[in-house]
Structure 1
């Protein structure tokens, strides 16, 4: 009865546009009051503080800052120039460039919204200028930006690992193969569109231009080597790698001597606000998580579902559907904070590897970023392209199918995403 009342309170607050973090905190406080009385509220502030100051969470603002520095110092433009020289000779080459640069930018920022805001402001106008339909430009940019939460580093993966008590580094490693599969699939769909609509070839292949743009972008290539090499080699933790990413981005920015301070300030402010929202969610989730744990809700839910079926693949199917549905209505951070602590006992009881499940959750939420009504990444791309969200959604459907296909592969053929984890850590 108490659980039903809290759910009503939470949904009512969200419907009247109360921020999710506030609604979650109010519902958690109400639950503690109803079940344990006012005495349970004595340590609320301390619990929230402890929950939001975990060392692992420092990686979130660090990766956001690294992406901001990267975009403000000419690094992004040099990446675009190199990838364009490398694959611009293919029909629809600029669409391929879009995916390729998103793949690289994803290795720095860890945020799909940061990715689409940074790259979309450059790529979408350029694609429109070259004759690409604005709906196609927005759809491709939006979908390729979602690679940012699949390819390491990934802010949602950090949040999942903290919520589920699992390894951030192993999650990052597990994301490599799905990210590359997703990029290949998006490029394949983009090439199909290019052939069908006779989209332009950007330039003939010129080895000299490839060499020149490669040399110009060479300092930039040190960034993923430092971040991913450090993590995969076991030299640094994910949090330490985030600090190294900021330092390396600053050094590369100084090398190019093109730091746009106005753009950097704006990106840092946006990143600060994004981080603040995430931290508020984490802090509020401590209250709700504490109440649910004391009330044995996750354990009871796990027992009920396991009594229905103990087949882990059926359980994964149910959870996939569940996360896809909540992805329509919640941002990825909110979905992880709200749901993951509840389902963790279930995945342990079903014998599902928490790292594998973290990847499944991340892929589901990447798809959720493309599906209205919330669709934060899609909305950002549509805003830049000045395109109607529903028209863009129609064009985006084949790209979403690619992401769904990667999700199904990773869910039911876990050897594909997990082989690197097995190689490096087990």
Structure 2
């Protein structure tokens, strides 16, 4: 009964626009006070602080900062120039460039919102100048930005790893193949639109220009090699790799001598605010998770689900639908922090690999970033493109279909995400 009361209070607070972290904390405090008495609230502050100081979570502000440094030191511009020289000759080449650069940027920032904000402000106006409609430009930018939470490093994967007790390094490795498949699929859809609307090629392929842009961008290409090579090679943890990303980004920025201090300051402040929101969510989830665990709610959910079916693929189907639905209404960080601690006992009892399930969750939430009403990434892209969200959604549905296909493939063919994990870690 008390759990239903807590849930009703949580929903009511969210409906009147109380921030999710505050609503979650107040609902947990209500449950603790009713169950254990007012005197038990004396440790609430300590419990929340302890939950938010996990060493692994330090990676989040570090990756956000690395992405900000990239965008304020000319690194992003050089990557765009190289990718344009490489694939710009294809019809609709600028859309391909958008997707290709998102793939690279995702390997540094780990945040889809950071990706679309940084790249969209540069690429969307250029696409509109070259005859792309505002909805198409926004849809390409938005959908490709969601690769940022599939391609390592990924902030949602870090949060999932902490919440589920799964290896963050293995989660990162598991995201490589699905991310590349998603990029290839998005490029295929973009090419189809380009052919349909006779969109322009950017320039003829010139080996000389390709060589020049490659040499100019070569220091920038060292970033993913240093970061991901260090993490996958076992030389550094994901958190240490995030710190390494910041140091390497600064070093490359100094090498280029193009650091925009005003832009960097603004990006750092925005990154700090994003991190504060995530950390408050983590702290609130620890409070709620502790109460639910003591009340045996996760265990009861697991037992109830297993009484319905013991087939792990049916369970995965149910959980897929569940995460797709909550992705309509919750940001990825909030969804992971709120739901994963409750679901973990079920996936263990059903025999589902937590790393495999982490990829399934991440893909679901990548789709959630593209589906209104919340659609944080889609809304950011629409704002930059000055396009109506519903007009963009009509175009974006084809790109979302690619992400759905990758989700189903990863769900029911576990070898797709797990091949590299099994090869390197098991």
TM bucket, shorter chain: over 0.9
Q: Does 1:63 align with 2:56?
A: no
Q: Distance in 2 between matches of 1:379 and 1:274?
A: 16
* Structure 1: gaps spanning 5 or more residues: none
**2:340 is the counterpart of 1:329:** no
Distance of 1:114 and 1:416 partners within structure 2: 27
TM-score normalized with structure 1 length: 1.00
Task: Name 1:340's counterpart in structure 2.
Answer: 340
State the partner residue of 2:44: 44
Q: Distance in 1 between matches of 2:334 and 2:356?
A: 20
Work out whether 1:318 is the aligned partner of 2:314: no
Total equivalences in the alignment: 426
**2:172 is matched with which residue?**
172
User: 2: distance between equivalents of 1:389 and 1:363?
Assistant: 22
Residue 92 of structure 1 aligns with which residue? Answer: 92
| Superposed displacement of residue 22, structure 1 | 0.1
Alpha-carbon distance in 1 for matches of 2:212, 2:133: 31
The 2-side partners of 1:301 and 1:132 are apart by 48
1:318 match: secondary structure: helix
Distance 1:325 1:213 in 2: 43
CA deviations over 1:302-359 (Å, ceiling 9, x no partner): 0000011000000000000000000000000000010000000000010000000000
Cα deviation digits, residues 194-222 of structure 1 (max 9, x gap):
00100001000000000000000000000
2:411 and 2:36 mapped to 1: Cα distance? 40
Distance in 1 between the 2:261 and 2:129 partners?
27
- Identify the residue that residue 389 of structure 2 maps to in structure 1: 389
Q: Which residue of 1 aligns with 2:197?
A: 197
What is the distance in 1 between the residues matched to 2:324 and 2:296?
Answer: 25
Structure 1 equivalent of residue 228 of structure 2: 228
Alpha-carbon offset, residue 41 of structure 1: 1.1
Q: Following the alignment from structure 1 to structure 2, what is the Cα–Cα distance between the partners of residues 137 and 261?
A: 29
Inter-partner Cα distance in structure 2 for 1:70 and 1:317: 39
Question: Can you give the 5+ residue segments of structure 2 that lack an aligned partner in the other structure?
Answer: none
In structure 1, C-alpha distance between the alignment counterparts of 2:419 and 2:340, rounded to whole Å: 24
Match status 1:252 vs 2:252:
yes
**In 1: Cα distance, 2:122 partner to 2:421 partner:** 35
Asked if 1:398 is matched to 2:398, the reply is yes
Give the whole-Å Cα distance in 1 for the aligned partners of 2:403 and 2:416: 15
Residue deviations 1:168-188, cap 9 Å, x none?
000000000000000000000
Q: Deviations over 1:222-268 (max 9, x none)?
A: 00001110111111110000000000000000011111111111111
* 2:121 corresponds to 1:112: no
The whole-number CA distance in structure 1 between the counterparts of 2:29 and 2:212 is 60
Q: Mapping of 1:76-225 within 5 angstroms?
A: 76-225=76-225
Match of 1:18 in 2: 18
User: How far did 1:39 drift?
Assistant: 2.5
Q: Which runs of 4+ in 1 moved over 3 A?
A: none
Indicate the residue corresponding to 1:412 in structure 2. 412
Q: What is the aligned partner in structure 2 of residue 309 from structure 1?
A: 309
Displacement of 1:97 in angstroms is 0.2
SS of corresponding position for 1:355: helix
Superposed displacement of residue 42, structure 1: 1.7
**For each residue in 1:34-60, what CA deviation from the matched residue of structure 2 results, as whole angstroms up to 9, or x when unmatched?**
111113212111110010000000000
Structure 2 distance, partners of 1:287, 1:231, is 31
SS at match of 2:329: coil
Q: TM-score, structure 2 length as denominator?
A: 1.00
